[in-house]
Amino acid sequence: MLSKIVRTVTNGFMPIIIIFGLYIIAHGHLTPGGGFQGGAVVVSGVVMLLVAFNSQELKKSLRERVLSIMESSGALIFIGLAFAGIGTVFAYNLLVGSPIFGHIPPTGPNPGDIWTGGVIPLMNFAVGLKVIAGLSAVVLALALFSSGEEVEE
């Protein structure tokens, strides 16, 4: 565990990092970024927490089983969205033109509309959830493991 200053600063930065990560995830279809990148940003915050506090303490608030459920559900939402198009073809983008995220942007350069992209924003969220949970679980498990504790089922 590092000094009090480091811990306080980490605590203060954590919400900002999470918000920035969520911004990158949400705007994946308009700006550079997406689920993987935004998820990695949030996980970098988790790593910072891991450095500032130790893994034992972090374990109390980030539980393995919660992370595992989050990851599985993210993956299931992702593949479920791909399955949703099977009325036409597997992985068909069926939400383009529908009321949900269905606007079609004008052709050519435009300022961007968040309500576009069909299933793309939804999939970005699913992937983001999966990446946050999965990479946090890996980082936490490795930290716990190298500090000598074996992780249980």
Partner 1 sequence: MDSLITHSPALIVALPLVAAFAIPLISRAGYRARSTFSLVIFGLVTFLVAVLAVDVHSVGIRVYTFGATAAELALPGGYMVPVRIMFQVDGMSIFMGIIITTVTLAALIYSLHFLKGQTGQVRFYSLMMLLYTGMMGLAFTGDMFNLFVFLEIASIAGAGLAAYRTNMADALEGGFKYIVISAVSALMVLFAIGILYSQYNVLSIAALANYMQYTTLDMIALGLLGGAFVMKLAGVPLHMWAPDTYTVAPAGTTPMILAASYTSMYVLYRITFTLYGVHIDSTAIGWIVIVVGVLSMFIGVMMAVHQTDIKRMMAYHAISQGGYMLLGVGVGLAVLANPVALASYGRDAINGGVFHIINHVFYKALLFMTAEAIFFRIGTRDTNKMGGLARNMKWTAAFYIIGALAISGIPPLNGFASKLLIYETVLQFNPVLAVIAMFVSLVTLASFAKVFYSAFTGPEMPAYREVREVPKSMIIGMAILAACVIFFGIFPGLIVDNIVAPATEALINQAPYINAVMGAVP
Partner 2 sequence: MTEHIPLDFPFLAAALLMGISFYIIIFKKNLIKLIMGVAMLAAGVNLFLVALGYRAGGGAPIYTGIPKETMVLPVPQALTLTSIVINVAVLALMLTMVIRIYRHTGSLDSEKSRKLKG
Partner 3 sequence: MKRQVTGLILLLVLVAFLVWGMHLTHPFGYPGASDMDDYMIENAQEETGSNNVVAAVLFDYRLLDTLGEATILFTAVMGVLLLVRASKRKENNS
Which residues contact partner 1 (rule: CB under 8 A)?
68-69, 71-73, 75-76, 79, 82-83, 85-86, 88-93, 152-153
Question: Considering only 7-15, 28-36, 45-53, 83-91, which stretch makes contact with partner 2 by CB under 8 A?
Answer: 28-36
Contact in structure between 29 and 121 (CB atoms under 8 Å): yes
CB-count exposure of residue 52 (10 Å: 0-12, 13-18, 19+)? buried
Measure the CA–CA gap between 100 and 33, rounded to whole angstroms: 21
Q: In the set 19, 69, 76, 142, which binds partner 2 (CB under 8 A)? A: 142
Q: Whole-number minimum distance, CB 30 to partner 2, in Å?
A: 5
Instruction: Count how many Cα atoms sit within 13 Å of the Cα of residue 38 in the half-sphere of its side chain.
Output: 27
Binding site for partner 2 (CB under 8 A): 30-32, 36, 105, 108-112, 138, 142, 145-146
